[in-house]
């Protein structure tokens, strides 16, 4: 697993953002910190906020990374890794839903780091897609919109993908969301069933389905780009074909639909036996949903589906979707011809299950 947070010793007293440069000639911004020495303690960088020493990672691996240094905790977060296409900012850990399979269980407290995240975005490499996630980012809707507007104005090359439960969009947001900067934002929104009661039950919030429909109306009026997301669990697998009908009829404005396999972490870790669906032995509902969505012209993807567990005719819909920093492959994958196209497994997926499940292609 690639470490996203490393021990750090800094001369600063307050959190700050810095971009690390091994090559002094690459330093073009006052926020750039340049390598001064690398020894057994680790690489040390010098910048606007003084000296910064990082442990457990070599300087070359950090070239161009945008870091959030937190002197109070003695850690530095690799917010935007230069060589990665998987960069996500966790803007809050609060959430107003409590999904049964949540991979990032919410906390009650919020630490406002929007200003630091904005600085980080402005230092990002060109043409990057930055993910924004939580908790629920739209609990801080003004801060979120403001960040997107300011960064998008200065850096029109940057795109955002925001994961949101879409419980907080209002009619009064339409004009703001119609601005050009929001054309470069894709909203990843979960919908777990065509039945309101079942969706509400899965997300742990009465009325969530109906509130989501109101938000869809707002986003439709604003011309927003939407990626619909459905995590497969035992509670919704049989609803999938009917959900496909809803997607193809009432939600035709969505850009794509991602059907996602479960991640064994967070709440799903201890509820695995009651949640996980083995699509390899029961692919029929997934196939029916895919067929219907494709027949009606919807772009549809299978995320977190190892390719060899998917019938051959649907394999092209299963990309290498798991982020590089948390992806692993089973030992048997070494002989597979399609490893470079495959999502593999989450780092925390049990090896014994992965090994028993796969059949190298």
Residues lying near ligand SF4 in the complex (CB under 6 A) are found at 306-308, 329-330, 333, 336, 338-339, 342, 344, 358, 360-361
CB of 278 to ligand SF4, least distance (A): 14
- Residue closer to ligand SF4 by CB (options 114, 329) is 329
- Residue closer to ligand SF4 by CB (options 249, 335) is 335
Token output for 165? 């439960």
CB of 83 to ligand SF4, least distance (A): 22
3-state secondary structure at position 168: coil
Token output for 143? 């801060």
How does DSSP classify residue 43? Answer: E
Contacts of 173 (CB under 8 A, 6+ apart): 141, 145, 218, 222
- In 3D space, the residue among 131, 126, 120, 130 whose CA is nearest the CA of residue 65 turns out to be 120
- Residue closer to ligand SF4 by CB (options 40, 340) is 340
CB of 353 to ligand SF4, least distance (A): 12
- Residue closer to ligand SF4 by CB (options 3, 331) is 331
CB of 313 to ligand SF4, least distance (A): 15
CB of 345 to ligand SF4, least distance (A): 7
Bridge partners of 44, per DSSP, are: 37, 53
- Residue closer to ligand SF4 by CB (options 216, 357) is 357
């Amino acid at each position: 697993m690639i470490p996203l947070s490393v021990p750090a010793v800094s001369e600063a007293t307050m959190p700050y953002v810095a971009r690390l440069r091994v090559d002094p000639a690459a330093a073009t911004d006052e926020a750039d910190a340049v390598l001064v020495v690398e020894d057994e303690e680790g690489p040390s960088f010098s910048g606007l906020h003084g000296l910064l020493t990082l442990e457990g990672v070599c300087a070359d691996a950090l070239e161009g990374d945008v870091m959030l240094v937190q002197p109070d905790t003695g850690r530095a977060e690799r917010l935007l890794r230069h060589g990665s296409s998987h960069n996500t900012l966790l803007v809050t850990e609060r959430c107003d839903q409590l999904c049964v399979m949540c991979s990032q269980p919410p906390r009650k407290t919020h630490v406002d780091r929007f200003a630091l995240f904005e600085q980080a975005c402005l230092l990002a490499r060109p043409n990057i897609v930055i993910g924004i996630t939580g908790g629920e980012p739209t609990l801080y809707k003004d801060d979120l919109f403001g960040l997107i507007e300011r960064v998008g104005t200065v850096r029109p090359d940057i795109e955002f993908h925001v994961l949101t439960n879409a419980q907080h969009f209002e009619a009064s947001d339409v004009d703001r969301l119609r601005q050009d900067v929001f054309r470069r934002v894709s909203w990843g929104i979960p919908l777990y069933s065509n039945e309101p009661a079942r969706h509400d039950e899965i997300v742990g919030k009465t009325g969530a389905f109906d509130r989501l429909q109101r938000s869809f109306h707002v986003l439709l009026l604003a011309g927003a780009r939407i990626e619909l997301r459905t995590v497969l669990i035992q509670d919704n697998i049989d609803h999938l074909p009917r959900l496909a009908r809803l997607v193809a009829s009432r939600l035709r404005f969505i850009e794509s639909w991602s059907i996602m396999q479960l991640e064994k972490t967070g709440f799903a870790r201890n509820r695995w036996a009651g949640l996980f669906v083995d699509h390899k032995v029961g692919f029929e509902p997934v196939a029916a949903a895919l067929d219907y969505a494709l027949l009606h012209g919807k772009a549809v993807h299978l995320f977190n589906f190892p390719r060899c567990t998917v019938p051959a005719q649907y394999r092209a819909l299963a990309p290498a979707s798991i982020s590089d920093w948390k992806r692993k492959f089973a030992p048997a994958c070494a002989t597979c011809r399609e490893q470079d196209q495959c999502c593999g497994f989450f780092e925390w997926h049990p090896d014994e299950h992965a090994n028993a499940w796969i059949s190298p292609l």
